[in-house]
Amino acid sequence: MVLRTSLNLYAVVWANGDMIANMAQVNGVLVGISVTILMGSAIANWRSQRATRQQQQAWHWWHNQQQQQQHIQAEIVRDGLLQEAFALRRHLEKNDHSNDENAPYLEQFNQFYRSLENLSNELSPPFVDDSLPLALQFLLKHHGQQETSLDIEPDTDWSSDGSDSNRTLISVVAELLPLLLQATQTPLTVQLRRSGNLNNLQLTRNILDQQTTLSLSNSTELQYLKEIFHSLMSGTLDISQDNVELICELSWPAIVG
């Protein structure tokens, strides 16, 4: 009886030990699967981030190439066609000022000259290679903001940021201005600042209700501009409201020489 009990106990212990061993093997397999999943997820995430960076770099390169081509075309218009048209216009004005029959043709030619000038400005805004404040001021006037003054931080060298950065910023602001101008008809206040290694452009207008800010903030166009500005300039574009003021703020890294 004792022998049988001992054998039964041994069998139970042996069976439990075998079960424990099997459970340990299962746990080991589960741990291995979990590690594999985590490693796979980490690798996939790394590849995704790498692909995103490569896409941003490719998009940035493509954008710069397009801007360079537009700039070249604008310079051809300014230095070639506009100069020749200006000389021809002066010739017509000098020789035909007393001939009333030619007056309509001269006016048509003046319209053609202005169209060429506007075309060159659309392709590449003036001053963008030399001065960001002057390029912004020209852009504001081009959008009917002749009375808007640009408040610039004194003793700041804005030429160090480079023409590529200036062109990208001007392109984004050119798309942003119509959205701001259609939201309200009040005057626009513009400030350009640099704080440490961060540039800041703030555009402010008075508004009558908060719904205007919400509509603008949720617009598809603004969401696209935010993504583009972040991808091309590593910057942020935010819309907020302070009492009766609609504030649009663009911030991007400064290139300090």
Structure tokens of 173? 């602001």
Beta carbons within 10 angstroms of residue 137's beta carbon: 19
Rounded-to-integer distance, Cα 172 and Cα 117, Å: 21
Nearest residue to 170 via CA among 92, 255, 233, 253: 233
Give the model's pLDDT for residue 216.
Answer: 81
Q: Look-up: residue for tokens 């050119």?
A: 174
**Phi (first) and psi of residue 153, to 5 degrees:** -65, 125
Whether residue 148 contacts residue 189, with contact meaning beta carbons closer than 8 Å, is answered with yes
Give the model's pLDDT for residue 237.
Answer: 94
Whether residue 216 contacts residue 179, with contact meaning beta carbons closer than 8 Å, is answered with yes
Give the model's pLDDT for residue 167.
Answer: 87
Give the model's pLDDT for residue 58.
Answer: 62
Whether residue 140 contacts residue 190, with contact meaning beta carbons closer than 8 Å, is answered with yes
Would you call 172 helix, strand, or coil by DSSP? helix
pLDDT in tens, the chain (257 residues): 444 444 444 444 444 455 444 444 545 544 554 545 455 555 555 554 555 666 666 666 656 666 676 777 777 777 777 777 777 777 777 765 556 666 777 777 788 878 778 877 777 778 888 889 999 998 888 877 777 778 887 777 787 677 788 888 998 998 898 888 876 667 788 999 998 889 999 999 887 677 777 788 888 888 888 988 988 889 999 988 888 888 999 999 987 65
Nearest residue to 225 via CA among 239, 241, 213, 215: 239
The fold adopted by the segment(s) 125-253 is: Heat Shock Protein 90 (3.30.565)
Nearest residue to 136 via CA among 188, 59, 66: 188
Q: Look-up: residue for tokens 């207008």?
A: 205
As a whole number of Å, the CA-based R_g of the chain is: 33
